[in-house]
Chains A and B, each alone.
Chain A
Amino acid sequence: MNPDILRILPEIVLTLTGVLIMLLDAGMPPASSRRPLGWVGALGVTAALWTSLLQLSLPDGTAFYNTVQTDAFSVFFHVLICGIVIVALLLSLDALPANQHHRGEYFALIVFGAVGMCLMTSAVELLVVFIALEISSISTYILAGYRKNTAKSPEAAIKYFLLGSFATGFLLYGVALIFGATGTTQINEIAGRIPHPTPSLVLAAFALLMVGVLFKVSAAPFHVWTPDVYEGAPSPVVALMSTAPKAAAFALLIRLLYTSFPMLEPLWHPLMWAVAVLSMTVGNLAALRQENVKRMLAYSSIAHAGYLLAAFAGLGLSGIAAASFYTAAYAAMNVGIFAVVTVVSGYEERLPLIGDFRGLIYRAPVVGGLLLFFLTSLIGIPFTAGFFGKFYSFSSALQGGAVWLGLIGLLNSGLAAAYYLKLAVSVAQPPLAADAKLATPRAPIQVGVAVGAALAFSAAATLILGIAPSRVLRSAQAGAATFHRAESTPPGVAAPGKLTGQ
């Protein structure tokens, strides 16, 4: 067997799983339940997760003509993305209504999307990156429009598709210009071929690449699509697309910044500073005014992208570990909160507003308690995942000398507490007396096995990252260390994977 295969084994497993789901779907009688397909998907993704862990035993290296590279960094993001996808599949199993059209395809699309996201984190050839990005994006475009019979879902899909294709177009332009300037599209080789002083063609290419990537992570000022798309898309899909593709895009951003364009650091350092401040401020200010829970969480995710980008203001490579950790922490709590939203609002979203969550803790104490727990983590209270994410990110920024960024971040965290608390308060208030007299009483909240498992996974992840973050941090640091080895670090730059001085 070609040893190169091992480097893309998770992607192969995922692809086979997707194809298997499609085949089974076609072979099943039309009326029968498609639930087993969801379990097949979850099993396949679990297998992919194990195979990516196996890659840790391989020596770092590239395969297929230097287009894919597996190292501790790619494995970290593979595991993270597979974890998110498993939870999203479990969530969809119970949330999708039995009469959903194309239910089998739904599971296949999620798994195919995972192929693209995983490939994005290990690809080191910009054209492969582009293909991976398209695989992941196209599946999320379709998934966003899955509630065909509502007005908002197709709107979300079309908006996402148009803006997303536009952004990918920017990225592709950037790739073309890079090829023009350096004669290569290899992420690892670009840095060596950029002449000194940097030609303006490279700067233009860099700017275009950044537009493409920052759009995918929904950082301001490329965030306008986020609230509409999150509001329209089905909640389990939002749980997926607000975390997994973002994690992949952040991995790409890290690779680009630290491997391809380290010499532009004086340029992208202030750029990341500005984007971080803008994202967290715009996201939080807009979230304050939202009444719809999903829109509020959409703006909150923009703010979290800002907190994460603050890590890049750190010196040298010290930001990588912090950013990777933040991605994991953010994924754990955000998937969790969208899982709760799915359970409470239901697939049809009968209860979309903050006011509709009123009295949740009385109707369903466990689900309400979990929602409060995820909210505490999003606020960033110690001993939850959110706290350590912010701690590492901001301390990386502070050690990079970005004191103001740290302060603005802290102020923003305080501001954000206001809208998270608004939801928390609504959950803790007793139900209105009028609700008891509703003509059709609200359906009791039912938590199925799969959704229960999804909730338990995300709650456990949020808690573990909050009380024992060391292990995950070590993995993130191991990932960051690969950049250290790849790059000829000039003396004086902080040791990789360590937040200096700690």
Chain B
Amino acid sequence: MDNIILSLILIAPLAGALLVILVPDKGKLPAWVALATALVTFLLTLHLPTHFSPSAPGFQFVQDSSWIANPAIRYHVGVDGLSLWLVVLTGLLAPIGVLASWKTIQTRSKVYYALFLVQQTAMVGVFVSLDMMLYYGFWELSLVPMAILIAMYGRNLTENGGPKAAIRFFLYTFIPSAPLLVAILWLYAKTHSFQFEVLQAAIANGTFPAGALCWAALAFLIAFAVKVPVLGLHGWLSDLFSEAPIAMAMVAAGKLGLYSLIRFHVNLFPVQARQAAPWLIGLAAVGILYGALLALVQKDFWKLLAYGTMSSLSFCTLGIYGFTLAGLDGAVFQTINEGVIGAALFVLLGVLYDRFGTSQISLYGGLAKKTPALATLFVITGLALVGLPLFNGFIGEFLVLSSTFTGVSVGWGATATVGVILSAAYLLTLVQKVFYGPQSEMVSKAPVLDLNGLERLNLWPLAVLFLVLGVAPNFWLSGIESSVIITSKKVLGSSTNPIGIDPKHMLTLKLDASSAATGGQQ
């Protein structure tokens, strides 16, 4: 079972997509098939953490078989602590995405659910591929269903808004992937291998000329940074958040790009990554501030969410390029948090949009009296994002911020901390404007429509997850750390000029953080 589980996780959504195409387009049948597929896939992904041994080095659940002889592309998949929880997260978000689409997708639902499931396969494929070409295939595949779904099922707030957002997203992510392909082929030309581990060793051994390697690293970096997005490359984000169907928007940003940065930029090009680090730290710290400030002044809640997301994703970038153990831990943990919290926020805002048909914050007001359950969940999610202790957001932000202060620079740490305060400001302002204060005309006229069963089913598990992630971080971090330690050893060991941080010290810091969280629980 262990050696085919990843293939099963990859095949299950594809088989589901095929089934969706085959079943008659009657009522909710395609949606039920998609839901069943998503649940089965999620259960399959749960096999991974239950059989994963954190102490074993390297990749687990590996399947490695030859595929194409020339060029030597292998079907090579496996997970380590870095990708483990991301695969599970993808599995978890699939049924939530289907449920979030349940009401909004009424027409052409077969196309929608088929493409949605293909997208699941592509995303899991990105996380588990250990062959660069296989990885590239999944990376590109993850763009196509996303772009088509945004184009076809966009909200069209403006004339042709959906297709425009889709084209912008596609071009932003597709154009940098061309240099990425060239860089991968260049690496292949020298080593005759696309295997991640082979390339890693070859780069560490100095097989490649340093100057050209720098360009290759840059090609990798830009392709991934766009997908995060890092400040300056975020032009596609706000349109996409406004237009995309919820199930697509909640997986569009963050995890794919951040994972790729850690795995294929930091791990593959440690020397070049360190050279780029000062720039990325700066962009990330400014991005935290810039995103939060922009979110503060948005009149439209989709745009607010877009800039807020960019701000909180910049924490992850900051953690990665601070090159401290705790920072990397925090970054991976925060990537998972972002996935869960972002999903919940999208579902909540989707509920609002579904009820009232507008995303203008000023039209809302005093909603809490009419929809207490919605307001409660909104506040919980907001607090998790802001980073209240006991919630998951706190652990990630604390790890990143504390390691930035001690390991990078006080200045950047202070900048990022201001961003945390601002994030509380924009979210609490949003909550205040929408749910409290005097009832707006629109709200008072509308019939009372609190969360229905479906939406509760979708949201409560996420809310519980915030707490579980927050109070027992060590359970999740132990797996993550097993591979992060290897990364940090490589990065620190390969450098002649270490940043001057003792990994042990950062380890204790992490333990402090988790004990602080558990202490709060008592």
Q: Which residues of A contact B (CB under 8 A)?
A: 361-362, 365, 372, 376, 381-383, 391-392, 395, 398, 410, 413-414, 417, 421, 425, 428-430, 467-470, 473, 499, 501-502
Write the nearest CB–CB distance from A323 to chain B, whole angstroms: 15
What number of B residues sit within 8 Å (CB to CB) of A? 31
Nearest chain A CB to B110 CB, angstrom units: 8
Pick from B70, B144, B171: contact of A499, CB under 8 Å = B70
- Beta-carbon contact of B163 and A502 below 8 Å: no
Known contacts A362-B108, A502-B72; 7 further A-B pairs (Cβ under 8 A) = A381-B140, A417-B178, A425-B167, A429-B163, A470-B68, A470-B69, A473-B70
Q: Judging by beta carbons under 8 Å apart, are B69 and A428 in contact?
A: no
Contacting pair A382 B181 (CB below 8 A)? yes
A383:B137 contact, CB within 8 angstroms: yes
Q: Which secondary structure characterizes the binding site on chain B?
A: helix
Q: Is the CB of B68 within 8 A of A428?
A: no
Contact B151 A382 (CB under 8 A): no
Q: Given the known A-B contacts A382-B133, A391-B71, A468-B68, are A430 and B163 also in contact in the complex, defined by CB atoms under 8 Å?
A: yes
Give A425 to B171 CA distance when docked, in angstroms.
Answer: 11
**Interchain residue pairs with CB less than 8 A apart (13):** A361-B152, A362-B152, A382-B140, A392-B70, A417-B178, A428-B147, A429-B151, A429-B160, A429-B163, A469-B68, A473-B70, A499-B70, A502-B70
Across the interface, which residues of B come within 8 angstroms of A473, CB to CB?
A: 70
**Which of B72, B166, B182 is within 8 Å of A428, CB to CB?**
B166
Residues of B contacting A428 in the complex (Cβ-Cβ under 8 angstroms): 147-148, 151-152, 163, 166
Chain A residues positioned under 8 Å from B174 (CB to CB): 417
| Interface residue from A395, A413, A469 paired with B189 (Cβ < 8 Å) | A395
B95 partner residues in chain A, CB cutoff 8 A = none
B171: chain A residues at CB < 8 Å are 421
**Closest 6 A-B residue pairs measured CB to CB?**
A428-B151, A429-B163, A383-B137, A470-B69, A382-B137, A502-B70
The chain A residue sitting closest to B140, CB to CB, is A381
Contact with A along B306-346 (1 / 0, CB 8 A): 00000000000000000000000000000000000000000
Residue B111 CB within 8 A of the other chain: yes
Nearest CB in chain B to that of A473: its residue: B70
Q: Which positions in B face A, CB cutoff 8 Å?
A: 67-72, 108, 111, 133, 136-137, 140, 144, 147-148, 151-152, 160, 162-163, 166-167, 170-171, 174, 178, 181-182, 185, 189, 192
Distance A138 CA – B166 CA, assembled complex (angstroms): 47
In angstroms, how far is the closest chain A Cβ from the Cβ of B152? 7
Majority DSSP secondary structure for residues of A touching B: helix
Residues of A within 8 A of B71 (CB): 391, 395, 502
Residues of B near A376 (CB, < 8 A) are 144
A501 to B182, CA, bound (A): 19
Looking at the assembled complex, report how far the CB atom of A204 sits from the nearest CB atom of chain B, in whole angstroms.
40
How far is it, in angstroms, between the C-alpha of A417 and the C-alpha of B178 when the chains are bound?
10
- Chain A contacts of B182 at CB under 8 A? 410
Residues of A within 8 A of B189 (CB): 395, 398
Residue of A nearest to B143 (CB): A381
Which of chain A's residues has its CB closest to B114's CB?
A365
Closest to A407 in B: B182
Neighbouring A residues of B67 by C-beta, 8 Å: 468
**For B166, what are the chain A residues with a Cβ–Cβ distance below 8 Å?**
428
Question: What CA separation (Å) do A70 and B118 show in the bound complex?
Answer: 45
Task: Choose from B70, B72, B151, B178 the contact partner of A414 (Cβ within 8 Å).
Answer: B178
A326 to chain B, nearest CB (A): 14
Q: Which residue of chain B has its CB nearest to the CB of A410? A: B182
Whether A382 lies near B152 (C-beta < 8 A) is: no
B148 closest partner in A (C-beta): A428
Please judge, given known A-B contacts A395-B189, A430-B163, whether A470 and B70 are in contact too, CB under 8 Å. yes
A393 CB → nearest B CB, Å: 13
- Chain A residues near B72 (CB-CB < 8 A): 502
A491 vs B303: C-alpha distance when bound (angstroms): 67
* Pair A501/B192 contact, Cβ less than 8 Å: yes
How far in angstroms is the closest Cβ of chain B from A210? Answer: 30
Q: Residues of B contacting A502 with CB < 8 Å?
A: 70-72, 192
B-side contacts of A469, CB under 8 Å: 68
Which residues of A are found within 8 Å of B137, using beta-carbon distances? 382-383
